[in-house]
Amino acid sequence: MSQVTSVRPLVANDIEHVAAIHQVAFPRQLESLLWISCNAAAYPRIRYFVAVEDGRLVGYIQWTEKSGFREEVVLELEQMAVLPENRGRGIARALIGQSLPQVACELEKRGARIKGVMITTRTDNVAQRIYTSTLGAVTKAVIPDLYSADEAIMIALSPDFSRE
């Protein structure tokens, strides 16, 4: 409980650690190293941030810009995971709360702002609660059996960064 979680942008040396977290967090998804590597190469369309505690990488978050580089940006919180042994201590909350302002700051440099955040997740995933409490996201649609189960499409318009 006493560890301080810092959240910073991914660097190249983090990729294999992030891939290892991806592998344990999403067992149905294959080729973790390739998935993370090619996404990381898509910067700035895709931005990764990592959570670090005592020098150890314990989680990551992936933000993806949708539908071109726009002035009014719709960002997808495409993926987020925390190592199983580190869950339940607010790391996901820190990942969202500390990375989103950093993304907003970067976007501001090109004159853009975040219009909304979208998230898709399984309807049985507890993560939905996190998206509502941190971003104010609400479920707008459910697509039955999209990936491995029913998938909720959640949206937070003009997300309120002060919720953190």
Ligand X SMILES: CC(C)(COP(=O)(O)OP(=O)(O)OC[C@H]1O[C@@H](n2cnc3c(N)ncnc32)[C@H](O)[C@@H]1OP(=O)(O)O)[C@@H](O)C(=O)NCCC(=O)NCCS
**Which parts of this chain interact with ligand X (CB under 6 A)?**
25, 79-82, 87-93, 121, 125-127, 129-130, 133
As a whole number of angstroms, the distance between CA 11 and CA 8 comes to: 9
* Cβ at position 111, least distance to ligand X in Å: 30
Task: Compare residues 124 and 145 and give the one whose CB is closer to ligand X.
Answer: 124
- DSSP 3-state percent helix, strand, coil across the chain (nearest 5): 35, 35, 30
3: which DSSP letter? Answer: P
Contact assessment for residue 97 and residue 41, using Cβ atoms and an 8 Å cutoff: no
CA gyration radius, the chain: 15
Task: Compare residues 89 and 115 and give the one whose CB is closer to ligand X.
Answer: 89
Task: Compare residues 127 and 153 and give the one whose CB is closer to ligand X.
Answer: 127
* Cβ at position 82, least distance to ligand X in Å: 4
* Cβ at position 129, least distance to ligand X in Å: 5
